[in-house]
């Protein structure tokens, strides 16, 4: 059994990590942290875990993180970067669910996250944890930057088109909707039931911090500079708890390709990407609680436009599930171990 630590165990992604890891046959969670809840039984806070774990929350500064084989950070942006250098020096492998190591450029990080980066020398050392792109690098990585939720849904939708140079990189649009758990568990007026239910709105239109992350990934796939990718990215908050739906558009630069076949071939060996039959409309509930990304590719009547629909559960393939997938790859376990969970309907 590998010894696993979770820093930030009271947030939604930390709780989701624990749910998945407690059912994982090769992982033992030896410590989970919270400053606010130190000493309290985890199952008291999360009733779904009653009878399944007797763990109590440890203080982050007293938790036996250095004794772990691998530590997950499920903390707000800017927390992991302060502790990761010390853990790496002690031989501990790390997966950060936040954005601390996702961007390669420290100036860009500071610009979007509003603070200087604490260890810019690790930005190139970290591996971006999208297994469908970086599986081989993840195997050997000491530090994995788990992708953001919107970036997972949008990149998986657009990568086949970009890798095969089929779309105009200046024409991309990602119109995305997220459930409210994407905003975390922290108290916030904007995520109250009365503010979010029976309501629908866009946000971050002027610039959302996932924009540079998505552009970085798409540019790398197309082997071009980031300046050559023009993406309009508009997130929306939708009144559901879990789920992301991305509708991605692009102008085709090459005519005559069988896009259905191209997507099916591109993802043929991917255990967590389901390319649906032609004319499908993937639903967020079809992936709720599972690590799947379901994708459908459409070519509407105006033949030079391609529309790709992509759905994930923001807390699973968009965060904790993808993190466990990365852990499996890093530790040499079968990639699907502990992740063969069927989505919950309704």
Ligand X SMILES: CC(=O)N[C@@H](CCC(=O)OP(=O)(O)O)C(=O)O
Ligand Y SMILES: NC(=O)C1=CN([C@@H]2O[C@H](COP(=O)(O)OP(=O)(O)OC[C@H]3O[C@@H](n4cnc5c(N)ncnc54)[C@H](OP(=O)(O)O)[C@@H]3O)[C@@H](O)[C@H]2O)C=CC1
DSSP bridge partners of 27:
2
Question: Is residue 99 a contact point for ligand X (CB under 6 A)?
Answer: yes
| 248 is a catalytic site residue | no
- Residue placing its CB nearer to ligand Y in the complex, 186 or 239: 186
Q: Which of residues 175-234 bind ligand Y (CB under 6 A)?
A: 181-182, 184-186
What CA–CA distance (Å, rounded) separates 1 from 332? 12
Which residue out of 119, 149, 248, 293 is catalytically annotated? 149
Site string for ligand Y, 149-178 (x = CB under 6 A): x-----------------------------
What CA–CA distance (Å, rounded) separates 73 from 129? 14
What CA–CA distance (Å, rounded) separates 50 from 240? 25
Judged by beta carbon distances under 5 to 8 A according to partner kind, the member of ligand X, ligand Y, none in contact with residue 235 is ligand X
Question: Is residue 75 a contact point for ligand Y (CB under 6 A)?
Answer: yes
What CA–CA distance (Å, rounded) separates 331 from 253? 41
* Nearest distance in Å: CB 176, ligand Y: 13
- Non-local (6+) Cβ contacts of 78 within 8 A are 98, 100, 113, 115, 118
Other CB atoms within a 10 A radius of the CB of residue 52 amount to 14
* Binds ligand Y by CB under 6 A, chosen from 79, 219, 221, 330: 79
Question: Is residue 214 a contact point for ligand X (CB under 6 A)?
Answer: no
What CA–CA distance (Å, rounded) separates 216 from 224? 10
What CA–CA distance (Å, rounded) separates 30 from 34? 14
73 within 8 A of 97, measured Cβ to Cβ:
yes
* Nearest distance in Å: CB 332, ligand X: 27
* Binds ligand Y by CB under 6 A, chosen from 31, 34, 134, 220: 34
Residues at the interface with ligand Y (CB under 6 A) = 7-14, 34-37, 60, 74-77, 79, 97-98, 148-149, 181-182, 184-186, 314-315, 318-319
Catalytic residues: 149
Residues at the interface with ligand X (CB under 6 A) = 77, 98-99, 148-149, 178, 182-183, 210, 235, 237
């Amino acid at each position: 059994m590998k010894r696993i630590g979770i820093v930030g165990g009271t947030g939604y992604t930390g709780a989701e990590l624990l749910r998945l890891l407690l059912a994982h046959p090769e992982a033992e969670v030896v410590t989970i942290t919270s400053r606010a809840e130190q000493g309290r039984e985890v199952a008291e806070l999360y009733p779904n875990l009653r009878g399944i774990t007797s763990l109590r929350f440890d203080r982050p500064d007293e938790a036996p993180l250095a004794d772990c084989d691998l530590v997950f950070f499920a903390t707000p942006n800017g927390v992991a970067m302060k502790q990761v250098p010390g853990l790496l020096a002690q031989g501990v492998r790390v997966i950060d669910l936040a954005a601390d190591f996702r961007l390669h450029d420290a100036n860009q990080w500071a610009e979007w996250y509003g603070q200087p980066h604490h260890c810019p020398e690790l930005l190139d050392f970290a591996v971006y944890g999208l297994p469908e792109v970086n599986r081989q690098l993840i195997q050997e990585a000491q530090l994995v930057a788990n992708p953001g939720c919107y970036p997972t849904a949008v990149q998986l939708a657009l990568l086949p088109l970009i890798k095969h140079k089929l779309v105009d990189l200046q024409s991309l649009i990602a119109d995305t909707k997220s459930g409210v758990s994407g905003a975390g568990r922290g108290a916030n007026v904007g995520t109250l039931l009365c503010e979010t239910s029976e309501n629908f709105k866009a946000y971050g239109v002027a610039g959302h911090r996932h924009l540079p992350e998505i552009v970085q990934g798409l540019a790398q796939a197309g082997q071009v500079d980031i300046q050559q990718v023009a993406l309009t990215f508009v997130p929306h908050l939708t009144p559901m708890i879990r789920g992301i739906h991305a509708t991605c558009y692009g102008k085709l630069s090459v005519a005559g390709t069988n896009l259905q076949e191209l997507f099916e071939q591109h993802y043929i060996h991917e255990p967590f990407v389901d390319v649906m039959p032609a004319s499908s409309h993937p639903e967020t509930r079809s992936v709720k609680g599972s690590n799947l990304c379901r994708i459908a590719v459409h070519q509407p009547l105006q033949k030079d436009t391609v529309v790709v629909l992509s759905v994930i559960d923001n807390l699973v393939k968009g965060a904790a599930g993808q993190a466990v997938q990365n852990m499996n790859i890093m530790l040499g376990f079968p990639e699907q171990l502990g992740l063969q969970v069927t989505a919950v309907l309704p």
